[in-house]
């Protein structure tokens, strides 16, 4: 990716140069692409045993141990849809924000950098529960509300005064004695 060359200040002091000076493909990924705590070393076989199908929703999470098929850093953490499956990679449709719009991008990524997304699990679970509720309500002949309701405030209640005298809470004074 081409970037314009940055101008240095005309000062004789070399410490006043415009920083940073690194604009490489993986610049600024020291922490983003590092392996997690106790996750260094060989890649688990379960990574290769997962099945990806066209239409699956996947999350891109770059594995720094595998340089082949690594997506660009802007796609790290993004969610997309699989549109192509090959032997060791998947094609993913993602949306990249460019200025004031989102552009559809199609990238090929090795499966080491891809995980099945769990974003729809709660929704699918709720759909199944609603289907059961709807079926039971139809058998009983009653109407059931399936929309989620916002949690209201707590119910009114009395605070018992017996054995519950008010007390003043103050911070403990700082003590320097050892």
**pLDDT single digits (tens) 66-77:** 999 999 999 999
Q: Check if the beta carbon of residue 69 is closer than 8 Å to that of residue 110.
A: yes
Please report which confidence band the pLDDT of residue 166 belongs to, taking 50, 70 and 90 as the band edges.
Answer: confident
**pLDDT single digits (tens) 14-29:** 555 676 678 899 999 9
Interatomic CA distance for residues 96 and 75, integer angstroms: 8
C-alpha dist (Å) from residue 9 to 23, 62, 114: 19, 37, 43
User: Model pTM greater than 0.75?
Assistant: no
Q: In the numeric block, which tokens belong to residue 110?
A: 């090795």
Per-residue confidence (pLDDT) for residue 15, from 0 to 100: 57
Per-residue confidence (pLDDT) for residue 178, from 0 to 100: 76
Domain boundaries, the chain: 51-118
Q: Where does 51-118 sit in CATH, by number?
A: 2.30.30.70
Please report which confidence band the pLDDT of residue 165 belongs to, taking 50, 70 and 90 as the band edges.
Answer: confident
Summary mean pLDDT of the chain: 91
């Amino acid at each position: 990716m081409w970037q314009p060359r940055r101008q240095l200040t005309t000062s004789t002091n070399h410490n006043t140069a415009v920083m940073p000076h690194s604009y490489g493909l993986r610049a600024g990924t020291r922490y983003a692409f590092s392996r997690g705590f106790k996750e260094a070393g060989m890649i688990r076989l379960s990574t290769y045993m997962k099945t990806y199908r066209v239409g699956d929703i996947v999350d891109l999470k770059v594995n720094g141990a595998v340089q082949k098929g690594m997506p660009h850093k802007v796609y790290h953490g993004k969610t997309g849809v699989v549109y192509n499956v090959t032997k060791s990679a998947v094609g993913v449709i993602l949306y990249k924000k460019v200025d004031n719009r989102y552009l559809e991008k199609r990238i090929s990524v090795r499966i080491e950098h891809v995980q099945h997304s769990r974003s729809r699990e709660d929704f699918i679970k709720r759909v199944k529960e609603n289907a059961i509720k709807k079926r039971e309500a139809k058998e009983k002949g009653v109407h059931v509300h399936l929309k989620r309701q916002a949690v209201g405030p707590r119910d009114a209640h009395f605070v018992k005064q017996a054995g519950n005298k008010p007390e003043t809470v103050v911070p403990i004074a700082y003590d320097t004695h050892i």
